[in-house]
Amino acid sequence: MEYKKFKVELLRRFVDNKANETELDGLHRLMGKGDMDDELSIVMAEVWERELHSEHILRQKIRKLHANKWRWIAAAAVLVMIGTYFIIPYSSNQESISPSEEFSKSTVILPGKNTAVITMANGKSIQLSSDESGIVIGNNGLNYNDGSKVADKIDHSAGSVASISTPRGGTYQVTLSDGSKVQLNAASSITFSTNYDGLPERTIQLNGEAYFEVAKRINQPFIVITKNQSVRVLGTHFNISAYANDHYSLTTLIEGSIKINDKLLRPNEQAQQSDGHITIRQVNAEDAVDWKNGEFNARNESLENLMKKVSRWYNVDVYYENSALKEKTFSGSLSRYAKVDDLLNALKFYGINTRLDKRQIYITN
């Protein structure tokens, strides 16, 4: 058999869960060499035709494959929904985890999607299309990212403000009138001016979580106000998580520099604000924007924090039969585009037992 065909067939056997231990060992070695680009693309295309229903999921997985070579095997498993959706290093003696019987009978809970409502200065609210990923506030009206119209006219007068909010299970991007981009996470909202020209500052109010790419204007700083802090920038990329039901706010800098109250933040630093105190620590900034990249990343993260993210994204409520479980910590990477029952099976791999009842998740360990 031709070598390329051999590798394709090996991948097919893997995604169909038919590969034996010898074949898995060989596949592991080939993946480690980065010698499977073409073959993986072929099998991914086959899987797309057979299994997947969302082009967005495919784009997310393709991006991850090129960005994280060592995760290829797990990503292939994700594509056919036979893995745990945790991205973990391959081990040939690792036991497979099959979906539990209780999940197979549960309501199918899908991940979040693009959905938001914008409220204009005159009080008019517009439900934004789930087929679009974002909107642009422009002089010629309000448009979607692809140029199609949302509204022909918007109020650009001085002091005119608008707001956009996402529900639980929603995300949306906003390009402000100055060219700055804001990606809203689930259950979040921003209030902003529809025209920053002539104003001394570009002020925006945030409740929830958002990722900012701020257009540089040297003489017009960009200020984000949350429940307990003020973040001042000129032009940079950063993430703020400031949900009302969290005990603290997290501000993480990706590039540039920002000032939080009177403290300066540098790239790969994170400021935690709690009870009027700010603590700064070194982090991997990419972990803070995992949600924007279609992932849940955890590094010694508490179960409580992770499940808050799950609750917001999947629009579910989470209950603990033992409150001590909230403090359990673990590390891993999890796709935000898994169905919730697949996600819970992934948690089971880490010893976290759950029960799903309609839109309620019970942690039962």
Report the CATH number that the domain containing residue 337 is assigned in CATH. 3.55.50.30
Does the residue 149 lie in any domain?
Answer: yes
Question: Containing H/E element for 364?
Answer: none
Q: Which of 261, 288, 315 is the last residue of a domain?
A: 288
Q: The CATH number of the domain where 253 resides is what?
A: 2.60.120.1440
Only one residue has tokens 């991997």, namely 284
pTM: 0.72
What is the chain's Cα-based Rg? 22
Q: For residue 346, what pLDDT is reported?
A: 77
Does the residue 152 lie in any domain?
Answer: yes
Same domain for 24 and 81, yes or no, is: yes
Among 58-67, 114-123, 188-197, 327-336, whose mean pLDDT is lowest? 58-67
Task: Write the DSSP symbol of residue 218.
Answer: T
What is the mean predicted confidence (pLDDT) over 221-236?
A: 91
Same domain for 298 and 283, yes or no, is: no
Does the residue 102 lie in any domain?
Answer: no
Same domain for 160 and 247, yes or no, is: yes
What is the mean predicted confidence (pLDDT) over 257-278?
A: 90
Beta strands in 123-226 (DSSP E): 125-127, 134-138, 141-144, 149-151, 161-165, 170-175, 181-184, 189-193, 202-213, 222-225
Residue 26 above 90 pLDDT?
A: no
Helices (H), 70-138: 72-79, 101-104
Same domain for 318 and 274, yes or no, is: no
Same domain for 130 and 161, yes or no, is: yes
Q: For residue 170, what pLDDT is reported?
A: 97
C-alpha pair distances (Å), 21 with each of 27, 100, 230, 270:
10, 24, 56, 43
Same domain for 183 and 233, yes or no, is: yes
Residue 126 above 50 pLDDT?
A: yes
Same domain for 137 and 37, yes or no, is: no
Domain residues for 329? Answer: 294-363
Does the residue 261 lie in any domain?
Answer: yes
Same domain for 279 and 310, yes or no, is: no
Does the residue 210 lie in any domain?
Answer: yes
Rounded to 10°, the helix 55-67/72-79 angle is 170
Spatial distance between the Cα atoms of 19 and 68, rounded to a whole number of angstroms: 23
